[in-house]
Amino acid sequence: MSSPATPLHRVPPHPRRIWIGFVLSQMIVAALWWWLGWRAGLPAMVLSHLSLFWGALWPQSRLYGPALSRLPVADKRVWLTIDDGPSGDTAAILDLLDAHGAKATFFLVGERAAARPDLVRAIAARGHGIGNHSQAHPSRWFWALGPRRMREEIAGGQAILRGITGQPPRWFRAVVGMANPFTVAPLREHGLSRVAWSARGFDAVAPDPATVVSRIERTLAPGAIVLMHEGAGHGRSVDAMALLLRRFDALGYGTLLPEALEGDPRSRARPVAAGAHAP
């Protein structure tokens, strides 16, 4: 399989680019204020600062470096991603994936991985991908972390997962999908590429699997990156995954890992035939 024209795994550029861009934008704001007065300068300043918040709060934003949100495939294959593990649901989800011939990337939290290393090894042994989803999953404040804490979250998760599997993750998913300028340096340092999504069902908070899957179907398309979770507090994560995989079967969708598009045959998943079902 030939590699895509644009590399999928893209680490952020040097962070100096972001800071140079910010300084230049504020110089433009100051010039407008000086030449045209506050009526032009104030709106320019507000817009420039709103763009910084938009870059942090919109998961698909590329303001703070590349963010992969879709794979370049034309057939019915998607990248299934599962956040927040490992958990008490991991073993059941692995069995479901096996039953449907599906592959997924598990974005794991470092501290949870350290508490359940056997599950991390089981994910890798069954041919699934493992990504970095921070060390402690600070969901409320990840978007606003400063440089030291951000580095600790990214580097800490990376070290734990590398120590368990022997391989450093290549992919990173920001907590709640939100990044900020301080994610750039540690991602670049550890060779991590940030992954967003294009289809989600809000399964971490929605307890009804049918609602979750219906939401995902609305934006399901070839190359979609599908966001799912495990270990949700409502206790229905396994049920939601089971229903989603059955719908993939019925709609003729298969799964793949991005490494398959980069020429690594070990990461290719068997396409799911239309109408297939779990035994």
Determine contact, residues 102/249, Cβ cutoff 8 Å.
no
> Which of 137, 229, 239, 249 is the catalytic position?
229
> Which of 83, 89, 239, 249 is the catalytic position?
83
Determine contact, residues 244/224, Cβ cutoff 8 Å.
no
Any catalytic annotation for residue 229? yes
- Is omega for the bond preceding 86 within 30 degrees of 0, making it cis? yes
Any catalytic annotation for residue 89? no
Strand partners, 17: none
E strand segments, the chain: 67-68, 77-85, 104-108, 129-132, 171-172, 193-195, 199-200, 225-229, 254-255
What are the residues whose beta carbons fall under 8 Å from the beta carbon of 63, sequence distance 6 or more?
Answer: 18, 51, 52, 54, 55
Determine contact, residues 112/85, Cβ cutoff 8 Å.
yes
What burial class does residue 207 get, using C-beta atoms within 10 Å of its C-beta: 0-12 exposed, 13-18 middle, 19+ buried? Answer: middle
**Catalytic residue numbers?**
83, 229
